[in-house]
Amino acid sequence: MLFYNSIGPNPRVVRMFMAERGIDLPRTEVDLRAGENRRAPYLAKNAFGQMPALELDDGSVIAEIIPICEYLDEVTPGPSLIGATPAERAETRMWVRRLDLNIIEPLANGFRFAEGIKLFQNRIHVIPQAAEDLKQIAQEWLGRLDGMMAGKTYICGARFTLADIFLFGFLEFGEGVGQKLNRERTNLAAWFDRIKARPSAAA
């Protein structure tokens, strides 16, 4: 397998996931700032032109970080970070979807349409006037999530899962681009510090 890596929170989530699962793959670096991901030969690997991607040994390519992590989880021996039973896997996937729709995409688009606009304006349809509202949507959901985290160690209760890595990767990104975690959200702040202390956070 070959991992197409770059800067940015999406590849970062997969790197942290791989570190947690003890996976070490050969990598090729793609220059995202220079737009290498938006032209040949990378587009032949991932027609959506986004990072990262995982090339399998038969030459087929998986893109989108959640399917990449799910695939790696399934083909790697050891405890799963998705779940050991259908109910656990469903719970993890429920949270991943909730986080993606309500926090991660609004946060990421809030960045793409504002601080990141120079990079993105010729790559995707940007909506600058939506940026502040999108950031607000992410913050409102983080406020609700803070309440839901009361008494929980991880997003899925006692289980550390892909959902934790996914949210952590984007909240960490938010720290650097003007979407800082409100430390008054004490449950979430404690959770963030707990995840940041894991050795895999250095990946």
Ligand X SMILES: N[C@@H](CCC(=O)N[C@@H](CS)C(=O)NCC(=O)O)C(=O)O
Q: Closest residue to ligand X, Cβ-based?
A: 8
Q: Which is nearer to ligand X, 124 or 190 (CB)?
A: 124
Q: Which is nearer to ligand X, 10 or 139 (CB)?
A: 10
| Least spacing, CB of residue 74 vs ligand X, in Å | 17
| Least spacing, CB of residue 84 vs ligand X, in Å | 24
Q: Using a CB cutoff of 8 Å and minimum separation of 24, what contacts does 36-39 make?
A: 37/6, 38/123
Strand order in the sheet with 2-5: 27-29, 2-5, 53-55, 61-63
Sign of CA dihedral 171, 174, 178, 179: negative
Which residues are near ligand X by CB under 6 A? 8-10, 32, 37-38, 49-51, 63-65, 123
| Least spacing, CB of residue 178 vs ligand X, in Å | 16
Q: Measured between alpha carbons, how far is 104 from 13 in angstroms, rounded to an integer?
A: 12
Q: Which is nearer to ligand X, 49 or 190 (CB)?
A: 49
| Least spacing, CB of residue 184 vs ligand X, in Å | 28
Q: Which residue has the tokens 């209760």?
A: 157
